[in-house]
A and B are shown apart, each in its own frame.
Chain A
Amino acid sequence: MSPADTPSPEGAAEGAPEKAPESAAEPVTAPEPETAPEPEAAPEPEAAPEPEAAPEPEPEPVDPKLQVLIDSLRERLGDGFVASDVVGGDLWVRVDVSQWRRAAEVAKGELGMDYFCFLSGIDWLPNPLLAGRDVWDPNPNEASEAAVDEPVGTIHTGIAGGDTRFQVFARLYSTRTHVGITLKADLDDESPTAPSLTSVYRGADWHEREAWEMYGFDFEGHPGLRHMYLPGEFEGHPLRKDFPMLAREVKPWPGLVDKEQIPGEAAEPDASETVSSEEAAAT
């Protein structure tokens, strides 16, 4: 296992994310900040809702096979085509949610995407369990400085951008040309609703049930949205970021928000001891 001795405000994380950076940043120091990697531009102070800076330089030559897909989708969908992005040789297209089913129809009928890979959702709300930039960076001082500029809860969306908290995305693939496409669509924050793809791809049935259960997305035209995994009386949508992990509230267990020292590396008895001894007492 790798060093997971990340400083993090576990107890306070869920309730008061604003307090987290200050409380945890100072006392807890990562063991060896020098050896820590510095991936370029991890915390961006000005959070623009534009596409995030990808690791690769952006103006890479687009594969002609993908360019054809982009062009025909743009032509077919018109205004419904919001954005597209090619990163690492893979294609993302963001469409307006009203054109969600149409996009799939075009992909299947005209672009040869015969294989339905998956459909799911993303909740871009920052993870409350990891609230505060210090958790994201082993060097807490720099990170907390960066976090000052940015209000807690700022949403960073991914490739092809996004304007809302929820996005639905689906992966389609052609078994003949071996080209795949990831479709994305922004959903309304209050009542996330998308047209169902079940009339286009039968396999979407279960995936939409799963997204309905896990994210609370509604799919218009779905033959029967009912629970996939969870018992019928279950309340809440577990994969939403604001859904608490109760097991973690009750008992801290190993993971990203763990404060326990890794046995081999319990070197410096620094201020973090105070936190972890409380933790030990709790367990």
Chain B
Amino acid sequence: MSLTSNPAPVDWQKASYVAAQAADARVNVELETEGMILNIGPQHPATHGTLRVVVRLDGEEVVWAEPICGYMHRGYEKLTEVRTYPQVTTLINRIDWLGSFANEVPFILGAEQLMGIEAPPRAQWIRTIFFEMARIANLTLFLGDMGVQLGALTPVFYAFRDREYVLNLIESATGGRFHPNYDRIGGLKDDLPRGWIDECQGAMRKVRSFCDELEDLLMGNEIFQARTRGIGVIPAAIGLDYGMSGANIRASGIDWDLRRDSESPLAWKEVDWKVWTHPDGDSFARYWVRLQEVREATSIVDQLLEGLPAGPIMSKVPKIIKVPAGEVWCHTENPLGEMGYYIVSQGGLGPFRCKIRSASFNNVSILSWLLKGVYVPDVITILASLYFILGDIDR
């Protein structure tokens, strides 16, 4: 019963793959290879942070995996209880440190909602601009970093080069390159400096050409495709079950973006943009969706800069900010996914309880399910493509 006697056309590639798999399995049974425990992290470049993933291997194959967090737990939920509302933004800037401004916004919006005040339109527009710039600053690093994880060193230098333009702009307006601390209850700390808008448009052009470059350089690369296509496939239902959000779930075909789908006072509804999804749910899809999101973000920023309304950037806010008693859940679509704050106020100067729902925590919790049955090099691909920030897991 040989394969050649079969009159039907034979897919030799598939047949050899099956044969190789069978041979592998036989070797494993014959040799009775014992499971090997491998620690990936906490100090491992692939985890870009101090996430530790313990995997048990059978040969090259992962049979069991467990992520271990806590190496960077800073207890922000407890600390918010002894801070005033304006002081909390300093802490939460450090949750997702690559897109810091985006962390401030949902908290401030939640507090504003409880106080019943709203920032003036110009402030909302500038907030949206910086929110999208935070997204660009965050995701461009991912776009380069993914290459590094797969052995292509060049893209990350491009990423750092072009990201710098965005960071410089953030710094020139807010004073903080990484941690702007720019959002205030009722508005913003400062208005934009003179000439900022022109420079910003220039930077957005550079980011767009960076995206084009990466599309040629990395996404069209055969090795990149071979290493990412079909690797780490997340079915949409399981992803949602684990609470995955953001580009990770959009790459599984779920058309859901809080910028479009939730009531937000920010200016996303004023501009024309698109939510990108990909049906495959694999590592390549996650990369592809994020690349499109960066492009889309530059277009959002451009449109907002064109239509930026004049007016004040701060509404009338009492000098001592006390938030009336109540509870609010406020969430936004952050670079890493859904980020939200459940703020409980009892009429004090600071939150009574502030539950920080960060995206990476849920995104990473799928790892023990997702890593089962993959090979060790693919573990690195999957870790990179899920894209987490350690501060966003541990808080």
Contacts and interface: CB of A to CB of B under 8 A. Distances in A.
Interface stretch (B37-45, B215-223, B344-352): B344-352
A87 B87 CA distance: 26
Interface in B327-347: 327-329, 331, 338, 340, 342, 344, 346-347
A2 B321 contact: yes
Contacts of B372: none
Nearest to B71: A229
12 contacts: A2-B86, A2-B321, A35-B318, A39-B325, A55-B114, A114-B241, A117-B340, A127-B81, A136-B322, A136-B348, A180-B329, A245-B78
A227 B73 CA distance: 12
Interface string A133-146: 00111100000000
B318 A36 contact: yes
Contacts of A239: 77-78
A124 to B, nearest CB: 8
B48 interface: no
Nearest to B263: A89
B115 to A, nearest CB: 8
A256 B242 contact: no
Contacts of A135: 348-349
Interface in B55-98: 69-70, 73, 75, 77-79, 81-87
A1 B242 contact: no
B206 interface: no
Given A118-B357, A205-B365, A4 B84 contact: yes
Given A30-B320, A116-B243, A117-B243, A156 B325 contact: yes
Given A156-B325, A201-B241, A203-B365, A122 B353 contact: yes
Contacts of B262: 178
Given A54-B326, A158-B327, A171-B357, A256 B83 contact: yes
Contacts of B85: 2
Contacts, number: 185
B325 A87 contact: no
A35 B320 contact: yes
A148 interface: no
A120 B245 CA distance: 18
Interface of B: 69-70, 73, 75, 77-79, 81-87, 113-116, 237-238, 240-245, 249, 254, 256, 261-263, 318-329, 331, 338, 340, 342, 344, 346-350, 352-353, 355, 357, 361-362, 365-366, 369, 394
Given A55-B326, A175-B240, A202 B369 contact: yes
A37 interface: yes
B319 A35 contact: yes
A203 B362 contact: yes
A55 B116 contact: yes
Interface string A1-26: 11110100000000000000000000
Contacts of B344: 122, 158
A49 interface: no
B78 A238 contact: yes
A255 interface: yes
Nearest to B74: A229
B104 to A, nearest CB: 14
A53 B325 contact: yes
Nearest to B241: A202
Contacts of B245: 115
A238 B75 contact: yes
Interface string A54-90: 1110000000000000000000000000000001111
Contacts of B329: 90, 171, 180, 182
B324 A256 contact: no
A104 B282 CA distance: 29
Given A136-B346, A180-B329, A203 B318 contact: no
Given A2-B320, A37-B322, A116-B362, 9 more contacts: A2-B319, A32-B319, A37-B321, A41-B325, A120-B355, A127-B352, A136-B346, A137-B322, A171-B329
A248 interface: yes
B340 A130 contact: no
B319 A118 contact: no
Contact of B318 (A37, A88, A137, A257): A37
B82 A159 contact: no
A201 B87 CA distance: 35
Interface in A207-239: 214, 227-231, 238-239
Contacts of A43: 347
Interface in A171-196: 171, 175, 178, 180, 182
Interface string A77-120: 00000000001111010000000000000000000001111101
A28 interface: no
Nearest to B318: A37
Contacts of B349: 4, 6, 135-136, 256
A138 B322 contact: yes
A50 B344 CA distance: 16
B219 to A, nearest CB: 27
Contacts of B79: 255
A225 to B, nearest CB: 14
A39 B323 contact: yes
A161 B132 CA distance: 38
Contact of B261 (A158, A178, A214, A257): A178
Contacts of A254: 87
Contacts of A178: 256, 261-262
Nearest to A238: B78
B263 A36 contact: no
A5 B279 CA distance: 54
A255 B361 contact: no
B326 A158 contact: yes
Contacts of A46: none
A206 B394 CA distance: 12
**Looking at B73, B87, B243, B394, which has the most chain A CB atoms within 10 Å of its CB?**
B243
Given A42-B325, A52-B326, A130-B348, A115 B243 contact: yes
